[in-house]
Chains A and B, each alone.
Chain A
Amino acid sequence: MQCKSCNTELPKHAKVCPKCGAKVSDKGPQNLKVIAIAGAVIAFIGGLLPFVQNTGDVEKAYSFMNIQMPVFWYLYMIALVATILLCVAKKEKLSIITTAIAGVIFAVAFFVSPFAEYAGRQQGKGGTVINKYNNVMLSDLLSNGENGIGMGTFVVIIGLIVAIIGVFFDLLKYFKKEINVDAKYMTNSINKSVWSMVYYYRWFYVMFLPALIFVLLFNYWPMLGLRYAFTSYKITNPYYIGITHFHEMATADIYFWTAFKNTLYLSIIKLILNTGAAVIISLLLHEISNIIFKKTVQTIIYLPHFMSWVVTASLFRLILAPSSSGMVNTFLAEVLGMFGGNPSNGIFFLGDPRYWVGSYFVINVWKDTGWGTILFLATLSGISPELYEAAEIDGANRFNKMRYITLPALTNTIITVFILNLAKVMNLFESVFVLMNDAVYDVSNVLQTFVYYKTFGGGRPDYGYTTAVGLFRSVVSGVLVIICNYASKKVRGRGIV
């Protein structure tokens, strides 16, 4: 990397240029390595899919790749792992070789013999259940993906294409820009070999071990469990059924679509309302000049953030109760009574689909708006007072100043907050879960609650189907995060992950 003002080569991770002292922005050329890794990971997952067949007949398990000999499969998986490792180690030049090897192995295996298709289960000798396969031709396979066997193949192909594109771009960049870092700017450790570095940092590996174990157990192991999305898994013995669940989700399950729609609707409207309210409150709060009053107000409006959703729900359940013990209904009844209305019937704010959505948004604004102002207030306090003084001399009034100085200064933060929260749109769960009930199921059911009730709400859990719904949610959510990350880098030069 070069300094923009004096063109000196910069050491790695430099915050300022050692020669001229200019600040170095971290916005280096974007690394497409991520694409290569993602592609390799997808292809790798594709390679793992056959294991969900859970059959004793090991060789049949590889049939999705048309490989009768598992050795092909091993080579393929090793090549992919090597690709990922090489990309991570910034040896893009070598990683294209391994990717190509994986591709070739796959292609060879693909065309070498007729395809096997899963054809249901059969009662074998001695009461054992075995999976039965038919041989099919490639043309059948492409027209026939739903029946199951095609899925792994498609995943692998998509993964390989993405990986090759990623690696290829990285390679181009590598040739375009030869990096020569002047050795004198590097720390002395750069001259040591990798192994002596590993030895030097040995205790750090031990330090990282706990976090590593936890992440592997509770974050990465569940990811392997996503393979159940392609299986029929009712209590025990998952077996491979391909994309049947996704087909069912897309065509047959109206509850799924309602849940998806509700998730988007509830969380996006909530996001807009919360951010809008937080901006308005921050702008007004910024105008308060009495420090003690301002601090007190801040303390009060941050308060609800620390209540759990259960407490918030309980609180509103108690004050929104339709009987005479509910504060809001009593208040409404009195007001109505004043105007000659009929005060006898309380409103079921949380038990009536007509009111539930509105109540949900109000409760969310009540709980999170105050906390949402923190970032905006931090930005506002950074605006130079000189700007306001200059504007005042030019005859700007309070609203002119707000319109032409404060709001533009806030724009970036507003976008940032929006992006940060947009990435979490699909995570909507607890706030809905604690406020929902049977009466408002149709308007309040979101993807996560759908999965929860389908699995734990009594009845026979179908882990396969709910995992498929979960996988759909995870993928949409992951795509959203990546888009938001990209947007965030564009807007403020720093990603969100």
Chain B
Amino acid sequence: MSEIVVKKKKKKVKVFPIVNAIVFILISLIILVPMWKVIVDSFDARAGYGMLFWPQVFSINGYKEVVTNAVLYKPFLISVFVTAVGSLLGLTLATLGAYVLIQYEMPGRNFFANMLLFTMIFNGGMIPTYLVMKNLHLLNTLGAVIFPLAINVYNLVLMRNFFEGIPGSLFEAAQIDGCSPMGIFFKIVLPLSKAAIASIGLMFMVTFWNDYTNFKIYINDNSLFNFQIKLRSLVMDNDMPDVGGVDPNTVKNAATIVAILPFMIMYPFLQDYFVQGVNVGAVKE
């Protein structure tokens, strides 16, 4: 790296790039070491001692326990279910709503837009929302955790920002060719917004997968807990199910890794979609 700098600027070797690179190697280590430590401990049958960065006694019993113990894999399946259903529902709401919001000549469009935006300024708060859930008889059902997160005004506005990037001439051309508004939506907007849908779909998936608060507030039933709740009670409250002869610490570490595994696998391939959402959200001109 330093050679390139030397050639381009025709100057002597500089200290800064090297120091800078070292700084970032250190930062990367600071990020990675905690994760690595948990990975190592999850494979270590003796769930080892502080400063070891390689399993002493290699075993996959921790993972085996997470996969085979019903107390642990059922919450995982609930997480998967909630993530899948919730993301689909959320994406549907956001896409449909966003397409309506770009119809600037539609009577009532501004009213709808303001109505959505107002919820970003003011909200009822935790207890009134809880009481509404109670009135709707949604407490202790998965609906209570899916519905409130599925209507995400921030994501809807983000989707609108994406849609606004589609050139207006395309709509006009389609209109002149006799395409109905619905036809425009399905034949032009959706195919052109694959990246946006992927990006916002991922955001929904992260939200639903990582949801802890809503489960904590609305769900009181052991059989409906998701993996985050289970993980928390496992690690923080030492609420350990019967794990046979496996070291509880190994199981804790393995469960932590399982909770992040889906996104760790997807993330390197989909990084651009994740990043795209942030940029469209804030730096839109």
Contact = CB atoms under 8 A, between A and B. Distances in A.
Indicate, yes or no, whether A interacts with B.
Answer: yes
B125 A324 contact: no
B47 interface: yes
A214 interface: yes
A288 B21 contact: yes
Contacts of B268: 299
Given A217-B132, A284-B23, A288-B20, A331 B51 contact: yes
Interface in B194-241: 206, 209-213, 216-217, 228-229, 231-232, 234-236
B99 to A, nearest CB: 6
B69 interface: no
Interface string A366-404: 100011001100110000000000000000001000000
A303 B267 contact: yes
A457 to B, nearest CB: 11
B49 A330 contact: yes
A476 B132 CA distance: 22
Contacts of A258: none
A422 B52 CA distance: 41
Nearest to B236: A317
A301 B27 contact: yes
B28 A219 contact: no
Contact of A317 (B47, B122, B235): B235
Interface string A459-497: 000010011001101110110011001000000001001
Q: Is the interface of B mostly helix, strand, loop or mixed?
A: helix
A287 B20 contact: yes
Contacts of A466: 126-127
Interface string B24-39: 1001101111110110
B103 A201 contact: yes
Given A221-B132, A378-B279, A434-B232, A212 B112 contact: yes
Contact of B99 (A207, A212, A288, A316): A207
Nearest to B95: A207
Contact of B129 (A189, A225, A413, A430): A225
Interface in A176-214: 187, 189-190, 194, 197-198, 201, 203-205, 207-208, 210-212, 214
A66 B227 CA distance: 55
Q: Is the interface of A mostly helix, strand, loop or mixed?
A: helix
Contacts of A319: 34, 37-38
A306 interface: yes
Contact of B235 (A89, A222, A318, A326): A318
Interface residues of A, number: 110
A198 B151 CA distance: 25
Nearest to A372: B278
A190 B105 CA distance: 8
Interface residues of B, number: 106
A88 interface: yes
Interface string B170-183: 00000000001110
Given A226-B125, A451-B125, 11 more contacts: A201-B107, A207-B100, A222-B128, A223-B122, A298-B271, A302-B274, A307-B260, A314-B235, A314-B252, A452-B217, A456-B217
Cβ-closest 8 pairs across A and B: A330-B50, A222-B124, A225-B128, A470-B125, A308-B210, A211-B97, A214-B151, A222-B128
Interface of B: 1, 4-5, 14, 16-17, 20-21, 23-24, 27-28, 30-35, 37-38, 41, 47-51, 92-94, 96-97, 99-100, 103-108, 110-112, 114-117, 119-132, 136, 147-148, 150-151, 153, 156, 180-182, 185, 206, 209-213, 216-217, 228-229, 231-232, 234-236, 249, 252-253, 255-256, 259-260, 263-264, 267-268, 271, 274-275, 278-279, 282-285
Interface of A: 12-13, 37, 88-89, 187, 189-190, 194, 197-198, 201, 203-205, 207-208, 210-212, 214-215, 217-226, 228, 281, 284-285, 287-290, 293, 296-304, 306-311, 313-319, 324-331, 333-334, 366, 370-371, 374-375, 378-379, 398, 413, 416-417, 420, 429-430, 433-434, 437, 448, 451-452, 455-456, 463, 466-467, 470-471, 473-475, 477-478, 481-482, 485, 494, 497
30 contacts: A89-B111, A211-B96, A211-B151, A215-B115, A215-B119, A222-B124, A222-B129, A223-B124, A224-B128, A225-B124, A226-B128, A297-B24, A299-B271, A306-B263, A309-B210, A310-B228, A310-B229, A310-B259, A311-B260, A314-B232, A314-B235, A318-B38, A326-B50, A366-B30, A378-B279, A398-B16, A434-B236, A452-B216, A467-B127, A485-B121
